[in-house]
Amino acid sequence: MVYKPQYYPGATSVAENRRKHMSGKVEKLRDISDDDLTLILGHRAPGSDYPSTHPPLAEMGEPECSVRQLVEATPGAKAGDRVRYVQFVDSMYNAPATPYFRSYAAAINFRGVDPGTLSGRQVVEARERDMEQLAKFQLETEMTCPALAGLRGATVHGHSLRLPEDGVMFDMLDRTRKEGNVIIMHKDQVGRPIDKKVNLGKPMSAQEAAKRTTIYRADNVAFRNDKEVIEWVHRVFDQRTIYGFKPE
Amino acid sequence: MANDRKKMFAKDMEIKFTKEHGSNKMEGGKITDMVGKYYRLGIEQNPRKVEMKKAGQEIAKKRGLAGYNPMMHCGGIPLGQRALTPSFISGTDMMVEIDDLHYVNNAAMQQMWDDIRRTVVVGMDMAHETLEKRLGIEVTPETINHYLETLNHALPGGAVVQEHMVETHPALVDDCYVKIFTGDDELADEIDKQFLIDINKTFPADQAATIKAAIGKTSWQAAHIPTVVSRVTDGAQTSRWMAMQVGMSFISAYSMCAGEAAVADLSYAAKHAGVLSMGEMLPARRARGPNEPGGISFGHFADIIQTSRVTPEDPANVALEVVGAGCMLYDQIWLGSYMSGGVGFTQYATAAYTNNILDDNLYYNVDYINDKYKDAAKTGKDNKVKATLDVVKDIATESTIYGLENYEKYPTTLEDHFGGSQRATSLSAAAGCATSIATGNGNAGLSAWYLSMYLHKEAHGRLGFFGYDLQDQCGATNVFSYQSDEGLALELRGPNYPNYAMNVGHQGGYAGITSAAHAGRGDAFALNPLIKVCFADKLLPFDFTAPRKEFGRGALREFEPAGERSLIIPAK
């Protein structure tokens, strides 16, 4: 029998979206150019070489090592890239992604990534070109609504705040704005002004966001109604508790 | 059960988020609105921030060195891009600026910790046995009264026995004193009332009976050294300062020879054999002596807080006061300063004792439990529901989902608890305290805490931050284990328990869960009757029956602390 991953329980659209995010089979909704991505990440100038912390692995004369033979280095590691980050903030008002599912999606579908999960933000550190590959993927697909999510390296406050009237999640540093019918970013991740406005695409409508979201909410898909997920949480809780009581 | 009951946080949210404060323009709208206005008014909208800015400018000018300047924030974008709003202290009508809930800005918070740190309980019986059996000196109520009068002179720093001694000025140490308590009513009757903590008058009758039975014929001193001494030194100093003055007072009161060997016995009893510290010494990696916050077990802390003897009929209130006080001490002072530093920890802690969000969740749970489990949330021992995993799951799940839905239906509550760690603490504390109240079992409450964390994380796809979540992912496994350091009764756990050592936002909750189990049963104390009685004393500057109200008085600058130095510094 061929193993078929079963990523998540639940019979609701939220559970289905969680499975989708983790599978990596998500819909592409927009294009962000490489130069635009570089600009908003703010780690280096568009078109410049990747700064490196060591020579390419091929030039380093690595020692005999069975692990090295088993695990192929990522492109960023091969090239000696430095480690850089991308950090997303997702609104609790039906942003498509949630921090844990961004982390799961990163860890399942990308190699050489180090996801970190908080309540208001989710960071992935990786070799720079590897990180960019993940960032581009998440920005261009249904995992991200440019109005309900943001790239924020610091001062991330906003995920739980009421939405402003234009529907663009509050950002103390005002990195992202709605202009016409699209969302633009005019500062980089840490709030430094950038040379041009980067078009992040159209925001999702409220209905579309509610359809694509991975957060349970009483005004959309209520957590209490996804019985299978609650049953599964209870099972995890039971097993851990009972194991600790009698760890034989 | 219908959850359309009147929300306890509704009034707070309405005043906080639909009324103007300072000049924040937060006027109008509803607490259920999902859309808000952001005026980006900066710090000028808030009176306290303006006061602080002015003070910072004056200090910089006076000392010729830059200081507090809110424009340094985020490259010139100051705080206040969203509305700066005050908060209500839960269980009170006090509305306070949130800056005034940092312990540096709050004299009541400082005094609460001062009063704990400068306190030890010291047995009298070993000393009396030494005097009577070894030296043949008669100990009577009269001699005990004389000794206590001597010690109330000596403990603050008055000299006895020796000539030409330096002494402390009484006006600087007026908060220092010693009182006695005993389970022996006959002895208590003979003690001068000024020296006695009268258990019969201080506790409800049933609690007094339990406590007296636990203490028996033994007698104990509740000693509080001067706040100023404790502040200059540390918690480990408390027993030493006390023991020195106790020893000198025995010599003086019983006309002993200052050099006779029996004095060493008295000293040993006061310093070691008969002394009870509020907190245990911490291991070298945390490097603190006794009576520092990291060593105060949750059971001791539950006993330090005195709400259980003034509202025994309301176990939820008892738990909420312990949660609030515990979050202040363990989060704001212990983790926030001793172990970390800076100002951020205040936000984690205040979420648990402001704006009645946690209170609403817990009182909802009380109603739920009373409906479903035949009044099991009422104070009593025979009405408790058996602590099983099914009960834990039922109460914790209902409690957590109710709380989650409040955040979803009332966006202002979500905005008030704007960090996931704040929400996680509130939800889990509600689940844990409720389960404790229903079962009378603190570890069942702790189990509910962990299930609440799992449910919360799964519902919102987020929980706290890395360090916050870490122990909540693995904590369920050690709840019922009694293997070595893997498991322990919650009463005996404390901030230095494995996995708890650096987890902001948890320990006040754990202390509350501990107290809830005993308050639910109507117990007179959670772990130690001596500590419960020691703090049942109105003479302490901090009122341990109502810590949240005291924090409010501190924030409103109404609280009168001890240990002030105005007597010995130039008048301003």
**DSSP codes, A74-121:** PHHHHHTBPEEEEEEEE-TTT-S--HHHHHHHHHHH-SS-EEEE-SS-
Closest-CA residue to B16 (of B5, B3, B1, B29): B29
Cα B19 → chain centroid = 32
Residue B18: both structure tokens together? 């639909």
Percentage of chain B exceeding pLDDT 90: 89
Closest approach of B40 to chain A, Cα-based (Å): 8
Residues in A touching B414 (Cβ below 8 Å): 92, 160-161
Of B82, B401, B462, Cβ closest to residue A100? B462
Q: What local confidence, expressed as pLDDT, does residue B458 receive? A: 98
Instruction: Break chain A into its structural domains and give their ranges.
Output: 13-245
Residues in B touching A214 (Cβ below 8 Å): 461
Hey, are the CB atoms on A170 and B82 less than 8 Å from each other?
A: yes
Q: What local confidence, expressed as pLDDT, does residue B572 receive? A: 79
Hey, are the CB atoms on B479 and A241 less than 8 Å from each other?
A: yes
Query: How far apart are alpha carbons B225 and A16 in whole angstroms?
Result: 63
Q: Which residue has the tokens 């819909």?
A: A27
Residue B1's pLDDT band (boundaries 50, 70, 90)?
Answer: low
CA-CA-CA-CA torsion sign (A72, A74, A78, A83): negative
Q: What integer is the mean pLDDT of B457-462?
A: 98
B68 belongs to the catalytic site:
no
In the 8-state DSSP scheme, what is residue B224?
E
Full set of structural domains in chain B with CATH: 10-101 (3.90.390.10), 119-277 (3.30.70.470), 292-529 (1.20.840.10)
| Domain A13-245 class in CATH | alpha beta
Kindly identify which residue of chain B lies nearest to residue A174, measuring between CA atoms: B81
Closest approach of A199 to chain B, Cα-based (Å): 23
Hey, are the CB atoms on A223 and B458 less than 8 Å from each other?
A: yes
Percentage of chain A exceeding pLDDT 70: 98
B467 belongs to the catalytic site:
yes
Question: Which of B17, B41, B460 best tests the A interface by mutation, with the highest count of A CBs <10 A?
Answer: B460
Query: How far apart are alpha carbons B312 and B302 in whole angstroms?
Result: 14
Give the model confidence (pLDDT) of A133-155 as tens digits.
999 999 999 999 999 999 999 99
Does residue B2 surpass a pLDDT of 70? no
Hey, are the CB atoms on B33 and A162 less than 8 Å from each other?
A: yes
Query: How far apart are alpha carbons B478 and B498 in whole angstroms?
Result: 10
Where residue A158 falls (left for φ over 0; alpha for ψ -120 to 50; beta otherwise) is left
Hey, are the CB atoms on A119 and B419 less than 8 Å from each other?
A: yes
B512 belongs to the catalytic site:
no
Question: Which residue out of B152, B361, B365, B503 is catalytically annotated?
Answer: B503
Does residue B83 surpass a pLDDT of 80? yes
B497 belongs to the catalytic site:
no
Residues in A touching B444 (Cβ below 8 Å): none
Give the model confidence (pLDDT) of B315-351 as tens digits.
999 999 999 999 999 999 999 999 888 888 999 999 9
Hey, are the CB atoms on A120 and B415 less than 8 Å from each other?
A: no
Does residue B156 surpass a pLDDT of 80? yes
Residue B406's pLDDT band (boundaries 50, 70, 90)?
Answer: very high
Residues in B touching A244 (Cβ below 8 Å): 476-481, 486-487
Hey, are the CB atoms on B458 and A244 less than 8 Å from each other?
A: no
Residues in B touching A163 (Cβ below 8 Å): 34-36
